[in-house]
Amino acid sequence: MSLLKRFLVNFFAITAVFFLSSEEPLDKIEIFRSNSNGLSLVRIKEKEIKNYKYFLKVFITDNLIQKKVLYKDNKEFKKWEYKYFDQIKNQETYYKDGKVINIAFFDANGHKIKEEEYKNSSKIKEAQYAYNQEGLVELETVLNLLNKQTTTIKYRYDSEFRIKQIEKKYPDGKVVYWESFLTEKGIISKEYYTLKGEIYTFWYNENGQETNGEIRQTGENETLKVEWNNTYTNKGIREKREEINYVLNKKINSWYNKDGKEIRIENYVDNALETIEFYDYNKDKKIISYKIIKDLTETETRYDYDADGENDKTYYYENNRLKKFVQKNKDGSRTETLYLKDGLKVVLNYDESNNLIN
């Protein structure tokens, strides 16, 4: 072979290798550690998939994702398939357990314009979306194919393009209207919505916590039905809630611990104290005691937990006298001991199906 031929052969060989190595492969698969939602958390290797409950395979062609498959315990759990027109996604199909769940269609701007919902491979619902000039959803029209009824949802936005109003009209003509009022920082200071002839209104503090609320009956004789307020510590932890129901003439005062759990509830009827309830919790925030005082009777229930954190023993007291003890077993069966007067007791055994054995 002449020197010229040898040079040309080597040149084209090197050039071919250079182009093949510098371009993305036309077909490739990427694998990620994932969760039940199919998120691409951390990229992993094929040999590592056995270490994870969920992993995701992403199939790519021409730098476009064609398919994503989520595996649970090494079995296909969910799948997403994509179609494109002129390199722009125009369709996405979602499967679960091998069955199509919904199909979404997109326009050239990436806006979802239609979505179909399926059950047992049959289409049961169809939604269409219209957008305003800013590219925000303006109208959503939902057709229930099972009853041939249509629901429409209108969206309105403020000058910062944040949702300010939602109007939902149901097939029977009922309209639910929601509106919010935002501070300059974008925090909701007030919101309300109408539902079945009632207006629900909520007020919030600068931390976004609900401070007050009320329910009013609409119509010619608009009346206040229920109102409530919440108070918080300097650290933003709710410590008390007061609620008044004017229709039932009831009042409820509730106090909370630092974990936000109720520790005391006072119930008033016609401004007279009717019951007081007390709650106590262990370090795992599980309830260990519930006590209620009504008239001259004090009833208390105490709970014990096993090493797995499951309630296995329950004690029932009335005026500090043990009335019943329940022992729960791991297999679902239980033993109930009833304590009668004069030291007598009755022992009842139940199987895991709640059938009385003896």
β 42-43/54-61 pair status: unpaired
Average pLDDT score over the chain: 91
- Please determine, for residue 18, whether its predicted confidence score (pLDDT) is greater than 70: no
pLDDT-based confidence at residue 26 (cuts at 50, 70, 90): low
pLDDT tens-digit map of 66-121: 999 999 999 999 999 999 999 999 999 999 999 999 999 999 999 999 999 999 98
Minimal CA–CA distance to 341: which of 325, 321, 357, 358?
Answer: 321
User: Do the beta carbons of residue 198 and residue 217 sit within 8 Å?
Assistant: yes
β 311-318/321-328 pair status: antiparallel
Taken in order 170, 114, 130, 39, the sign of the CA dihedral is positive
pLDDT score, position 187: 86
Altogether, the residues listed in the chain come to a count of: 358
Q: Nearest-5° angle of CA 307, CA 313, CA 318?
A: 145
Where do the domains of the chain lie?
1-78, 86-173, 282-358
Which are the contacts of 170, defined by CB distance < 8 A and separation ≥ 6? 151, 176
- Please determine, for residue 23, whether its predicted confidence score (pLDDT) is greater than 50: no
Which are the contacts of 24, defined by CB distance < 8 A and separation ≥ 6? 63
Spatial distance between the Cα atoms of 81 and 103, rounded to a whole number of angstroms: 9
Residue 7 or residue 61, greater confidence: 61
pLDDT-based confidence at residue 220 (cuts at 50, 70, 90): confident
Q: What is the mean pLDDT of residues 10-28?
A: 48
* Token pair belonging to 354: 């709640």
Residue 187 or residue 225, greater confidence: 225
From 154-158, 180-184, 282-286, the region with the lowest mean pLDDT: 180-184
Residue 240 or residue 24, greater confidence: 240
pLDDT tens-digit map of 312-333: 999 999 999 999 999 999 999 9
Spatial distance between the Cα atoms of 183 and 220, rounded to a whole number of angstroms: 32
Q: What percent of the chain has pLDDT over 90?
A: 82
pLDDT score, position 15: 44
Q: What percent of the chain has pLDDT over 70?
A: 93
Residue 121 or residue 337, greater confidence: 337
Burial class (CB in 10 A: 0-12, 13-18, 19+), 31: buried
pLDDT score, position 355: 93
pLDDT score, position 243: 98
- Please determine, for residue 182, whether its predicted confidence score (pLDDT) is greater than 90: no
103 SS3 class = strand
Q: What is the mean pLDDT of residues 7-33?
A: 56
- Please determine, for residue 24, whether its predicted confidence score (pLDDT) is greater than 50: no
154 SS3 class = strand
Which are the contacts of 259, defined by CB distance < 8 A and separation ≥ 6? 281, 285
Q: From the centroid of its chain, how far is CA 233?
A: 27
Minimal CA–CA distance to 90: which of 103, 107, 66?
Answer: 107
pLDDT score, position 138: 96
Spatial distance between the Cα atoms of 56 and 70, rounded to a whole number of angstroms: 4
Minimal CA–CA distance to 91: which of 83, 101, 99?
Answer: 83
